[in-house]
Amino acid sequence: MDESVFQAFLPELVDIRRRLHQMPETGYEERQTSALVADLLEGWGLTVTRGFAATGFVATLDRGGDRAIGLRADMDGLPIVEETGAAYASRMPGMMHACGHDGHTTMLIGAAFRLLHDDDFRGKAHFIFQPAEETAGGAARMMEEGLFERFPCDAVFALHNYPGLAAGRFSARPGAMMAAIDAATLTVRGTGGHGARPEDTVDPIVTAASIVMALQTAVSRNVPPQEAGVITVGAFHAGSACNVIPDEAVLEISLRATDPVVRSRLCRRFEEIARLQAESFGAEVSIDWQVGYPVTMNDAAAIDLATSVIRDVFGEDAFEPLDRPMMGSEDFAFMLEKVKGAYLFIGNGDSAGLHNSRYDFNDMLLERGPVFLHALARRFFA
Ligand SMILES: [Zn+2]
Ligand SMILES: [Zn+2]
């Protein structure tokens, strides 16, 4: 393609990113964001299918052939008060694009622009704009609503910016890239009473404290040392006064693993430890599971394809292999369970961390991200 056409479009792309930054919308509320982007791509002549998972949509560029590539961006913001001081800071009170999804959305717009203006491009590209990545699993909901049945893809790819990695540098690994996450609310029910008469009670605080300590062995004694797992008790609520033994204690727990077998084993051990510890005190437990995201599993061939493109287009140094999976999680994992593909980081440079009130997406990536996605799609069909 004529690079001067893209260079001339870049200032507009920066402007789009900053406009999106000013109007962050949280999961399944991305109505204005979705409409702005869908209208733009439709105006360019792409075929746009709206109304997936409430606010998600797919834009298709069809230049023939049987195979298709899926390129995905997430669109949601976070309930954070922005403190960047940027001229284009959020105008939505208490909401912010603190994970760079404004940038991901704009990079995908840039990729669509490049493929559209590439007369030599042959193949079919589905640009998947998904809602609600942060907590509600918008990827899974798009799939429940028939995403890959209506838009079959032979491979799917997604980019996420990564603070601390040099701006524009890429990083990824084959196999597990991000951890699975599940959450559980554990309610320990005992029998409350007077703090002076513990013999007449079943103390849920002592029971829950014992469960917290026993859970510390779940990883060390049940997960092979070569594998990774985390159980974090992030909240412990019980009682109201020093001389009252309450009826119940409530714990909020997150469990993470980088292997599906470890994931199910940790969840099972958590339940066993909680129940049996409680039983030994005469207390009862109930567990309310919030099943989260699976392990983000990159396909080795898809990683090979992506890294060969990165090295050829940007040079040998532009790719930094990731030696270990990250313990964070990502709902693109659902798509990778169904279609082979890869999830890659693109360095955001020396910025504040993700989900920080001072974070901002690095506009430099609006050039390199689309150039990569364009070259990737070309090589996929080559
Ligand atoms: Zn995030
Ligand atoms: Zn994110």
Give tens-digit pLDDT for 34-72.
999 999 999 999 999 999 999 999 999 999 999 999 999
Å from CA of 118 to ligand 2 middle: 29
Instruction: Supply φ then ψ for residue 223, to 5 degrees.
Output: -105, 130
Å from CA of 146 to ligand 2 middle: 23
Å from CA of 150 to ligand 1 middle: 28
- Reported confidence tier of residue 328, pLDDT bands at 50, 70, 90: very high
User: Given CA atoms 348, 352, 356, 357 in this order, what sign does their dihedral have?
Assistant: negative
* Ligand in closest contact with the CA of 361: 2
Neighbours of 50 (CB within 10 A): 15
What average pLDDT does the chain have?
97
* Ligand in closest contact with the CA of 161: 2
CB hemisphere CA count around 13 (13 angstroms)? 27
Q: Provide CB contacts within 8 A for 144, sequence distance 6+.
A: 53
Å from CA of 99 to ligand 1 middle: 5
Å from CA of 182 to ligand 2 middle: 17
> For the sheet containing 284-290, what is the strand order?
229-238, 248-257, 180-189, 284-290
pLDDT digits (tens, 9 = 90+) for 269-325: 999 999 999 999 999 999 999 999 999 999 999 999 999 999 999 999 999 999 999
Question: How many Å apart are CA 362 and CA 355, to the nearest integer?
Answer: 15
- The alpha helices in 44-161, defined as continuous H runs, are 101-116, 138-144, 147-150
Å from CA of 330 to ligand 2 middle: 8
Q: What percent of the chain has pLDDT over 70?
A: 100
pLDDT digits (tens, 9 = 90+) for 68-91: 999 999 999 999 999 999 999 999
Query: What does R_g of the chain's alpha carbons equal in angstroms?
Result: 24
Q: At residue 164, does pLDDT exceed 90?
A: yes
Å from CA of 104 to ligand 2 middle: 9
Specify the pLDDT at position 186.
Answer: 98
* Ligand in closest contact with the CA of 162: 2
pLDDT digits (tens, 9 = 90+) for 94-126: 999 999 999 999 999 999 999 999 999 999 999
Question: How many Å apart are CA 178 and CA 147, to the nearest integer?
Answer: 23
Residues of the chain within CATH 3.30.70.360 domain(s) are 180-289
Residues of the chain within CATH 3.40.630.10 domain(s) are 3-178+295-381
CB-based contact 135:355 (threshold 8 Å): no
Question: How many Å apart are CA 267 and CA 272, to the nearest integer?
Answer: 9
The one-letter amino acid code at 125 reads A
User: Given CA atoms 56, 77, 232, 160 in this order, what sign does their dihedral have?
Assistant: positive
Instruction: Supply φ then ψ for residue 5, to 5 degrees.
Output: -65, -45
- The first and second tokens of residue 214, run together, are 């026993």
Give me the CATH code for the 3-178+295-381 domain, please.
Answer: 3.40.630.10
Could you say which of 3.40.190.10, 3.30.70.360, 3.30.413.10, 3.40.630.30 is the CATH number of the domain covering 180-289? 3.30.70.360
- Reported confidence tier of residue 1, pLDDT bands at 50, 70, 90: confident
Instruction: Supply φ then ψ for residue 211, to 5 degrees.
Output: -65, -45
- Reported confidence tier of residue 348, pLDDT bands at 50, 70, 90: very high
Measured CA to CA in angstroms, residue 326 lies from 143, 217, 228, 230 at distances of 24, 22, 10, 12
Q: At residue 22, does pLDDT exceed 90?
A: yes
Å from CA of 202 to ligand 2 middle: 44
Q: At residue 136, does pLDDT exceed 90?
A: no
Å from CA of 97 to ligand 2 middle: 9
Å from CA of 194 to ligand 1 middle: 45
- The first and second tokens of residue 182, run together, are 């599940």
Å from CA of 50 to ligand 2 middle: 22
Specify the pLDDT at position 344.
Answer: 98
Å from CA of 80 to ligand 1 middle: 11
pLDDT digits (tens, 9 = 90+) for 196-221: 999 999 999 999 999 999 999 999 99
Specify the pLDDT at position 181.
Answer: 96
Specify the pLDDT at position 347.
Answer: 98
- The arithmetic mean of pLDDT across residues 231-245, rounded, is 97
- Reported confidence tier of residue 135, pLDDT bands at 50, 70, 90: confident
- pTM higher than 0.85 for the full model? yes
- The arithmetic mean of pLDDT across residues 323-346, rounded, is 96
* Ligand in closest contact with the CA of 104: 2
Contacts 24+ apart (CB under 8 A), 166-169: 166/347, 166/349, 167/347, 167/348, 167/349, 167/362, 167/364, 167/365, 168/314, 168/318, 168/346, 168/347, 168/349, 168/364, 168/365, 168/368, 169/317, 169/318, 169/319, 169/320, 169/346, 169/347
Q: Provide CB contacts within 8 A for 148, sequence distance 6+.
A: 70, 335, 338, 339
Å from CA of 303 to ligand 2 middle: 20
Å from CA of 336 to ligand 1 middle: 18
- The first and second tokens of residue 257, run together, are 């693993």
